[in-house]
Structure 1
Amino acid sequence: MNYLSPSVKTLLRPCRQWLTLLALVTGLAGCVEPYAPDVINAPPNLLVVEGFINADGPTAIRLSRTISLATKTTPPPEAKAKLLIELQNGPSYALTETAPGSYTGAPLTLPAGALCRLRISTAKGQQYASDFVPVKRTPPIDELQWKAQDSGFNFYLSTQDPTGTSQFYRWEYDETWEIIPIYRPDIQFYSTGPGKGRIGEIASPYPYPAKCWGSEQSPKIVISQTAGLSQDRVRDFRLRVLPLNSNRLFSRYSLRVRQQALTREEYDYWQLLAKNSENIGSLFDAQPSQLTGNVRNLDEGGDGLPALGFVGAHSVSEKRIFVGRGELPAGTVPLTGYEDCMPPDIVNPYAGDPPPTADEIAAILFAAFADPSYIPITRVPGQGFWAKSVDCIDCRTRGTASRPSFW
């Protein structure tokens, strides 16, 4: 018996079509099997060029070679190359190799609109050059602020270019935060001979720092544009979001932003790179596209292999913001970062019936603490000792004890 009116059947017909499509997509997803073509294991040995010509400061360029996706090692650096910054109808400036594959040039001040490029001669004599690009002067960052909202602690940036010549922007940021260990040991393990040890007062100078600093570079490509708008102005662009209970806000946090004004071609390159690297993984994501930079192989009759990378020319604007624990809204309770270290372990070498002998106690302590990755913290009357892994005690496993120059 059919209890549906004709009008309801009409409404349900599109739903049935969507359900059919959903079933088809679900079936396809269930049939997907991993496939690794041979080219993944045997890629061409392409030159990779990272960096830009700094129009108002030192230029830093990194050269490396592509490797197989299946390779677990880092890309090999392209060492002992000769690099030049060339101005069209003007002088050239050499870069110096400061580490294998890393090249640095002296600070330059290049006028806006000047055409320049990067020239590369590898140790094997291969010749590469980027296209000549116009120098762009990056406007300053007007404001960098944070707001506590339901979505988290949001960091917003505002900038503008009254001349209207910037339009295409890229931002990089790095974060620094204080790390405060939750344990401060007052005892220490001392070896007293083969297979034996004791617990005594901690040595001087105190071996564990009271504070460290963690840091991280921006992992994503962050870009935006104002082309087509009435003003070359970016207002309250959300750059970074931290969870409301982020451990990076436990004591003090800093965010430094570096702003770059790009040409349209360089912006398009970064936009495509972002799509290829960050939005791949599901049936509905954008499919990978061929990435074409502006670095060319100049060798005639050579292997003709292109290089990967886009070398632009622009200045950099920078701004830093600090957020202290006392500035956070009332009721905010950031994590310490050491939640997995609670509670402490108990090591009791005195337990037993009958009680262990002095030699047995020394052997138990040696077995527990001879490995420096496990550390006694303090005495607990009637229970022995608190103890925990070195990662819970020495904050140098999570950062550096050297205070940053800007802190």
Structure 2
Amino acid sequence: MIGVFKFINSIRILIVILICSTLNSCIDPFEIETENFENILVINTTITNEMKNQEVLLSRTFRFEDDGPLSEEGATIKVIEDGSVEYLFEESAPGTYRSVQEFAASSGREYELSIQTTDGRSYVSDKVTLPQETSIERVYPQRITNDSGVEGLGIFVDTFDPTGNSQYYRYEFEETYRIVTPSWYPFDLVVTAEGEESFEFGLVNRPVDQQVCYASNVSNNIKIANTTIFEEDRITGLEVNFIPAADIRIDNRYSILVRQYVQSREANGFYEILSNFSESESLFSQIQPGFIAGNITSEDNADEKVLGYFDVSSVSEQRIFVNRDDVLTDLPRYALDCELIELVKDPFDELITFHQRISVFIDSDEVRYLPDSPPIPGEPIVFPGVLRYFVPRACGDCTALGVSESPDFWMD
């Protein structure tokens, strides 16, 4: 339910634009303060048919001027199956609750979420059941041009339920990509000795694990689809992600894991409203930022607002790998700014001052050494004040952009 938080951020953006448009003649700085703030519990959870430790996230809405949501800690949470079997949750991190035991939602059974906060307030969801499981037929890449005229890689999904019972779908993804250091040099420059008039410099092996790295992102939008108006319960060519050709994610090798949730009609309606809020970019939109009611209510106060939806969904997932050269070989590539950084001795500075500057530069960890002419490894390097070269760290060390350990699922 990343979309819940995106919805809250969308309202914040809307407020900023509105204030700026009405006060556009002001040139003095001003601070925005929220009036009539409501402290609302935000519940983020989807229980699935996967055998795992299920998860519930709790937080609170926050004022516009605050940095972000505040985690709701110390709550007592349980999921009740058929009114009798209870699955207890424990707090694994602030606001994050994981089931004590692994369990999977089963068809034909009813599930209910129960929450009690530290201030004694109790919340309960409607009883919900697990929708039918439908497997993804295919996830596939395709070179496309998006609506903005940008060429790149589209990721598409096909699915089909011959029984016609699924109908309502939601999609999330996790993407992982390989990063290859563009200005790799096998040695780093270090200070080997400090004298009264100059430093001595030498080379040490640069860690090999800084040459190839991996980075990951999760989807931050709400992608839903339904087949109620079609003759078949079939989805063909639904775009779930787009990567511009000049994006670092598709500069080398790319992988995406697409997860398909079959959900209820009620859950689909909730996510559709959230999606409309998150995609609205105009103040003149007909969408109004009212409260979005879910299926969770307060047992103590019927008028208390609760933001969130207790969703029980069946899940199917599929992963694919894409090599850039297989689909986008003739399009512009991602270009990291690796312009050489020059250090030159000021004619009026002493040599020791210049060497100190080089030492500080190295210790900053913001750059990596890339000489104009490679020195001989193992021999001291004495800089008499001539021009030397460095590049930004990301150009010579991929750990500035990712991690060196490849994921367990990665395939070359």
TM-score by length of 2: 0.81
Counterparts of 1:30 and 1:120 in 2: how far apart (Å)?
37
Counterparts of 1:191 and 1:268 in 2: how far apart (Å)?
66
Structure 2 unmatched runs, 5+:
1-17, 25-29, 147-151, 375-384
Given the superposition, is the C-alpha separation of residues 34 and 117 from structure 1 closer, same or farther in structure 2, using an over 3 Å criterion?
A: farther
Counterparts of 1:37 and 1:305 in 2: how far apart (Å)?
30
- What secondary structure is seen at the aligned counterpart in 2 of 1:237? strand
Equivalence for 2:246: 245
Given the superposition, is the C-alpha separation of residues 370 and 241 from structure 1 closer, same or farther in structure 2, using an over 3 Å criterion?
A: closer
Residues 42, 68 of structure 1: 8 Å contact kept? no
Shift of 1:348: 3.0
Counterparts of 2:143 and 2:357 in 1: how far apart (Å)?
51
Given the superposition, is the C-alpha separation of residues 364 and 104 from structure 1 closer, same or farther in structure 2, using an over 3 Å criterion?
A: closer
Q: Which among 348, 351, 355 is matched to residue 344 of structure 2?
A: 348
Equivalence for 1:48: 42
Counterparts of 1:93 and 1:297 in 2: how far apart (Å)?
20
Given the superposition, is the C-alpha separation of residues 307 and 191 from structure 1 closer, same or farther in structure 2, using an over 3 Å criterion?
A: farther
Shift of 1:303: 8.8
Residues 272, 289 of structure 1: 8 Å contact kept? no
Paired letter, 1:79 = E
Equivalence for 2:330: 331
TM-score by length of 1: 0.82
Q: Which has the larger radius of gyration?
A: 1
RMSD: 3.0
Q: Does 1:366 align with 2:359?
A: yes
Counterparts of 1:125 and 1:30 in 2: how far apart (Å)?
38
Paired letter, 2:128 = V
Counterparts of 2:225 and 2:70 in 1: how far apart (Å)?
32
- What secondary structure is seen at the aligned counterpart in 2 of 1:309? strand
Number of aligned pairs? 370
Equivalence for 1:269: 270
Paired letter, 1:293 = G
Once the two structures are overlaid, the 10-residue window that deviates more, 56-65 or 256-265, is 56-65
After TM superposition, the structure 1 = structure 2 runs for residues 83-162 of structure 1, keeping only pairs within 5 Å, are: 83-105=77-99, 106-151=101-146, 152-162=152-162
Counterparts of 2:195 and 2:120 in 1: how far apart (Å)?
59
- What secondary structure is seen at the aligned counterpart in 2 of 1:365? helix
Counterparts of 1:135 and 1:61 in 2: how far apart (Å)?
17
Paired letter, 1:373 = E
Provide, for residues 151-185 of structure 1, a one-character-per-residue CA deviation record: whole Å limited to 9, x for no partner.
Answer: 43111100111221111110001111111121224
- What secondary structure is seen at the aligned counterpart in 1 of 2:371? strand
Equivalence for 2:8: none
Paired letter, 2:69 = P
Q: Does 1:375 align with 2:378?
A: no
After TM superposition, the structure 1 = structure 2 runs for residues 383-394 of structure 1, keeping only pairs within 5 Å, are: 384-394=387-397
Given the superposition, is the C-alpha separation of residues 45 and 277 from structure 1 closer, same or farther in structure 2, using an over 3 Å criterion?
A: same
Residues 171, 258 of structure 1: 8 Å contact kept? yes
Once the two structures are overlaid, the 10-residue window that deviates more, 165-174 or 397-406, is 397-406
Given the superposition, is the C-alpha separation of residues 270 and 248 from structure 1 closer, same or farther in structure 2, using an over 3 Å criterion?
A: same
**Identity across matched positions, percent:** 24
Shift of 1:219: 1.5
Equivalence for 1:321: 320
Counterparts of 1:377 and 1:348 in 2: how far apart (Å)?
15
- What secondary structure is seen at the aligned counterpart in 1 of 2:64? coil
Residues 245, 334 of structure 2: 8 Å contact kept? no
Provide, for residues 76-114 of structure 1, a one-character-per-residue CA deviation record: whole Å limited to 9, x for no partner.
Answer: 111121111112343111122211211112332333232
- What secondary structure is seen at the aligned counterpart in 1 of 2:274? helix
Structure 1 unmatched runs, 5+:
1-28
Residues 294, 309 of structure 1: 8 Å contact kept? yes
Shift of 1:255: 0.9
Paired letter, 2:223 = V
- What secondary structure is seen at the aligned counterpart in 1 of 2:108? coil
Equivalence for 1:12: none
- What secondary structure is seen at the aligned counterpart in 2 of 1:274? helix
Counterparts of 2:286 and 2:392 in 1: how far apart (Å)?
42
Given the superposition, is the C-alpha separation of residues 219 and 30 from structure 1 closer, same or farther in structure 2, using an over 3 Å criterion?
A: closer
Equivalence for 2:176: 176
- What secondary structure is seen at the aligned counterpart in 2 of 1:315? strand
Counterparts of 1:90 and 1:259 in 2: how far apart (Å)?
29
Counterparts of 2:213 and 2:112 in 1: how far apart (Å)?
41
